[in-house]
C-alpha cells in the first residue's frame, strides 16, 4: 500500500479530500471512539461491495450507517419510536447504534436484506469532521464496519488498519490516522423496532443508562423471556468473532510461554508473557484489542485472559472475549 493512503495529519483539507474519495466510490478508513471503521458511501452499491471484498465479509451481514447528526435518522429510517429519539438525544454522538425500520434509502446491500437498518453518530473529532465534509457535498451517510478482515480482532489504531487491510486496499483508498480509540470495544447495538429497547450487542452504553434515558425496561441478550425469538442480524453477533490467530483461553492459570491479560492486581507467573495489566474496566476495554494483536505479533499460540467481573462495560468485554475464545 502506498504511503499516500496513510494520512497522519487529519487537517480540514484532508477531510475534504477524503469526503470526495467517498463520493467517487473509494474506501476511507477512519477512527471512531470505539474502533476504526472501513467506510464507503452508504448509497453506492459498488463502493459498499468493496468493503465486503476487502473484509472477506459475508454478503448477508449488515453494515452500520454512520451519519453526521441525529437529524439524519429520518433519511435512513421510518416509524422511529419516541424512545429511540430520546436515546439519540442523550447518547449521540457516542458509542451507540440504533436498529430502526429502514426507509427506501437503506437498500438491501446495506441491511443484509433485512427490513431494518443500523444508524450511529460517532463521537470522534475526525469521524465527525469526515461525516460533516461528506454531508456538505451531498453525502447521506458512510457505511462502516470495523476496518479488519472478517472475524479478526478489530483495529484501534491506524497502524493496525494498515497491517490488517493494506494489501486489500488500492491506491485511491485512504486511511485517516486519528490516534488510538478511546473506548476500544464496538458500539452498543439497540433494537428500537419493538415496544421497548432490546440490546443486541453490549457496549459502553449500558442497560442502566438506556433505562435512565427512556424510562423503559430493557430486554438484554440473556433475558429468558427473549429465548427462542428470531433476532435481527447485526454486526459482531456471530458466536466466533473478534479473534486473534492465538487460541484464547478464559479464566485459567497461564503457563510459561503463554500470553496473559489480567487486571493489574493479578501477578504474572514465571515465564508467562504479560500483554496487558489494566487498572480498571475502561482501561481493559481500551487495551484489549491491541493486546490481542500483540499476541499475534509475538507469534504466541495461546493467550489466557482473566475476565473482568461486574456490570457496565465489563459486560461488553466478556461478550467479546466469549466470541474470541470460539476462534475465527
pLDDT in tens, 250-273: 999 999 999 999 999 999 999 999
Q: What structural domains does the chain harbor?
A: 3-176 (3.90.870.10), 247-325 (3.40.50.11030)
pLDDT of residue 309: 94
Q: Which residue has the higher pLDDT, 319 or 222?
A: 319
Q: What is the pLDDT of residue 151?
A: 85
Q: What is the DSSP code string of 239-288?
A: SS-S--SSEEEES----TT-EEE--TTSPPPTT-EEEE--SSHHHHHHHH
**Residue 72: closest CA among 39, 98, 44, 90:** 98
Beta bridge partners of 114: none
Residue 221's pLDDT is what?
75
Buried b (16+ CB within 10 A) or exposed e, 269-280: eeebbebbbbee
What span, in angstroms and rounded, lies between the C-alpha atoms of 230 and 20?
A: 40
Cα dihedral across residues 59, 117, 181, 220: positive or negative: negative
Confidence band of 146 (pLDDT split at 50, 70, 90):
very high
State what percent of residues in the chain have pLDDT above 90: 84
And the C-alpha cell for 271? 515465564
Per-residue pLDDT tens for 44-61? 999 999 999 999 988 888
Q: Is the pLDDT of residue 229 over 60?
A: no
Amino acid at each position: 500500500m502506498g504511503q499516500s493512503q496513510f494520512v497522519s495529519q487529519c487537517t480540514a483539507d484532508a477531510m475534504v479530500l477524503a469526503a470526495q474519495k467517498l463520493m467517487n466510490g473509494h474506501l476511507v478508513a477512519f477512527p471512531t471512539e470505539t474502533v476504526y471503521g472501513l467506510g464507503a458511501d452508504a448509497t453506492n452499491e459498488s463502493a459498499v461491495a468493496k468493503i465486503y471484498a476487502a473484509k472477506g465479509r459475508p454478503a448477508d451481514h449488515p453494515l452500520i450507517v454512520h451519519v453526521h447528526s441525529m437529524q439524519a435518522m429520518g433519511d435512513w429510517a421510518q416509524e422511529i419510536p419516541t424512545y429511540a429519539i430520546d436515546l439519540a438525544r442523550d447518547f449521540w454522538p457516542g458509542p451507540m447504534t440504533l436498529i430502526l425500520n429502514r426507509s427506501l434509502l437503506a437498500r438491501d446491500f446495506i441491511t443484509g436484506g433485512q427490513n431494518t437498518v443500523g444508524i450511529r453518530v460517532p463521537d470522534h473529532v475526525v469521524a465527525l469532521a469526515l461525516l460533516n465534509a461528506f454531508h456538505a457535498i451531498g453525502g447521506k451517510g458512510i457505511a462502516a464496519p470495523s476496518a479488519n478482515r472478517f472475524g479478526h480482532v478489530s483495529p484501534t489504531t491506524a497502524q493496525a488498519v494498515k497491517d490488517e487491510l493494506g494489501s486489500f486496499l488500492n491506491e485511491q483508498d485512504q486511511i485517516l490516522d486519528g490516534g488510538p480509540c478511546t473506548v476500544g470495544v464496538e458500539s452498543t447495538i439497540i433494537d428500537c423496532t419493538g415496544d421497548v429497547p432490546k440490546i443486541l450487542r453490549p457496549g459502553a452504553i449500558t442497560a442502566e443508562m438506556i433505562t435512565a434515558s427512556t424510562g423503559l425496561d430493557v430486554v438484554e441478550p440473556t433475558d429468558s423471556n427473549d429465548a427462542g425469538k428470531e433476532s435481527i442480524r447485526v454486526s459482531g453477533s456471530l458466536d466466533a468473532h473478534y479473534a486473534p490467530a492465538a487460541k484464547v483461553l478464559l479464566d485459567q492459570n497461564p503457563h510459561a510461554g503463554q500470553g496473559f491479560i489480567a487486571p493489574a492486581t493479578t501477578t504474572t507467573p514465571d515465564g508467562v508473557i504479560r500483554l496487558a495489566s489494566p487498572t480498571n474496566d475502561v482501561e481493559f476495554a481500551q487495551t484489549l484489542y491491541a493486546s490481542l494483536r500483540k499476541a499475534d505479533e509475538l507469534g504466541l499460540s495461546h493467550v489466557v485472559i482473566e475476565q473482568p467481573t461486574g456490570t457496565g462495560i465489563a459486560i461488553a468485554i466478556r461478550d467479546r472475549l466469549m466470541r474470541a475464545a470460539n476462534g475465527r
